[in-house]
């Protein structure tokens, strides 16, 4: 009898458990778990570059931003250095030359007057003897003294002009010595400043450019500086060839060191400006990512690039190129992850353990 009761209990317990399981599966049979976005897929390479697929959720979650950068024409430049010179030494030399020239004019006048007087006395002495020989000799001495003074004044002026040429070059020396250029007035009056620009040896063109571009002070705009001449002196802090340039004095102060852009020969080229955030370094070279189609990205090595202040200018981009301007480093890290080395196009990590689940 006890055995029968025990078997009934087991049967009732089993039926109860089966019914409870049925209710559980009935409740959860229609439940669908929240879909988690798949990891990025590395699909077969296109034109030798891996194609990284990222869905919009992952892009938004990781701050990946794409922009269509405009293609522009740009005259490539090389970096150089400039310093605003103090014009006081040039002004002082100019004043000394003016004073020496005035002294020469006075000496010429004195010599001319004494020469005429000496000739007059010589004529009178020989004509009727009304002028003594002693007076003639005295006037001759005065004339010779005035002649020597004129020669000395001439030598002083020549030395100052030669000094101007040696210290400031042939063009500025000419301006200072003869004062025939209105450009000198602009410098002396402070409307323009004089720059000593040093071009590094690797950036020296065949002839110095007639115009350069200067970033003056805190100004975000560029000033155009025009060539004056070669500079005989050097900037002791930088090695290279030196030239004088002049530019408007706005935003420039004496002694200020300026960043200078030297146009490269060959004319303007077409390309895009990329921000620093768009650049990644891989294998020692700069790259960027382009969105080749919606949600698909390929790494592109920069071509013909140069640094332009805080941006990069590079050729080789089409007119409607979409470039990753933020989040490029994340895409590179995804591309280089070992689990995405396959080229089958499947999303997610390696399936080497799938057999264990069958």
Separation in Å, CA 64 to CA 46, 324, 335 = 22, 7, 14
CA angle 348, 351, 356 (to 5 degrees): 135
Whole-number CA gyration radius for the chain: 43
Q: Does domain 41-75+268-341 have CATH number 2.40.420.20?
A: yes
Fold: same for 41-75+268-341 and 79-85+191-263: no
Q: Is the confidence at residue 357, as pLDDT, over 80?
A: no
Higher pLDDT, 239 or 302: 302
Helix, strand and coil in the chain, % to nearest 5: 40, 30, 30
Domain boundaries of the chain, sorted by first residue: 41-75+268-341, 79-85+191-263, 88-185
Give the per-residue pLDDT at 31: 42
pLDDT, residue 3, reads: 43
Q: Residue 215: which of 187, 272, 257, 267 has the closest Cα?
A: 257
Higher-confidence residue of 69 and 181: namely: 69
Q: How confident is the model at residue 324 (pLDDT cuts 50, 70, 90)?
A: very high
Burial label, 259 (beta-carbon count in 10 A; 0-12, 13-18, 19+) = middle
pLDDT tens digits along 243-285? 999 999 888 889 998 888 888 777 788 889 999 999 999 988 9
State pLDDT tens for residues 213-243. 888 766 567 889 999 999 998 877 777 889 9
- Pair of tokens at residue 210: 């007639």
CATH of 79-85+191-263, one of 3.90.930.12, 2.40.30.170, 3.40.50.11540, 3.20.20.70: 2.40.30.170
Residues in the chain: 358
Exposed, middle or buried by CB within 10 Å (0-12, 13-18, 19+), for 54? buried
Look at 135 and 165; give whichever has higher pLDDT.
165
**Euclidean distance between CA atoms 213 and 258, whole angstroms:** 10
d(CA 348, CA 339): 8
Across residues 148-177, what is the average pLDDT? 93
What integer is the mean pLDDT of 149-162? 94
């Amino acid at each position: 009898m006890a055995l029968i009761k025990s078997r009934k209990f087991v049967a009732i317990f089993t039926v109860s458990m089966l019914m409870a399981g049925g209710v559980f599966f009935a409740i959860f049979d229609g439940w669908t778990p929240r879909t988690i976005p798949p990891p990025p897929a590395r699909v077969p390479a296109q034109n030798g570059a891996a194609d990284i697929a990222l869905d919009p959720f992952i892009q938004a979650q990781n701050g990946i931003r794409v922009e269509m950068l405009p293609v522009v024409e740009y005259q490539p430049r090389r970096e150089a250095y400039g310093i605003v010179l103090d014009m006081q030494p040039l002004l002082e030399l100019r004043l000394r030359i003016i004073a020496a020239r005035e002294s020469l004019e006075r000496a010429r006048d004195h010599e001319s007057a004494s020469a005429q007087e000496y000739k007059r006395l010589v004529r009178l002495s020989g004509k009727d003897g009304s002028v003594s020989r002693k007076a003639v000799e005295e006037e001759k001495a005065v004339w010779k003294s005035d002649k020597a003074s004129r020669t000395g004044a001439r030598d002083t002026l020549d030395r100052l002009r030669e000094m101007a040429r040696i210290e400031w070059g042939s063009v500025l020396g000419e301006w200072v010595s003869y004062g025939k250029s209105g450009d000198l007035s602009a410098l002396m009056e402070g409307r323009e400043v004089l720059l000593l620009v040093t071009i590094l040896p690797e950036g020296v063109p065949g002839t110095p450019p007639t115009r350069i571009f200067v970033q003056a002070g805190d100004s975000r705009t560029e000033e155009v500086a025009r060539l004056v001449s070669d500079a005989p002196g050097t900037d002791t802090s930088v090695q290279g060839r030196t030239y004088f340039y002049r530019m408007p004095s706005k935003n420039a102060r004496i002694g200020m060191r300026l960043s200078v852009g030297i146009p490269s020969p060959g004319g303007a080229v077409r390309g895009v400006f990329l921000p620093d955030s768009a650049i990644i370094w891989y294998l020692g070279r700069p790259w960027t990512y382009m969105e080749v189609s919606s949600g698909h990205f390929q790494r592109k090595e920069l071509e013909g690039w140069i640094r332009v202040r805080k941006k990069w200018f590079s050729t080789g981009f089409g007119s409607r190129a979409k470039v990753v301007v933020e989040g490029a480093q994340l895409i590179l890290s995804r591309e280089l992850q070992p689990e995405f080395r396959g080229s089958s196009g499947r999303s997610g990590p390696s399936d080497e353990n799938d057999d264990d689940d069958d």
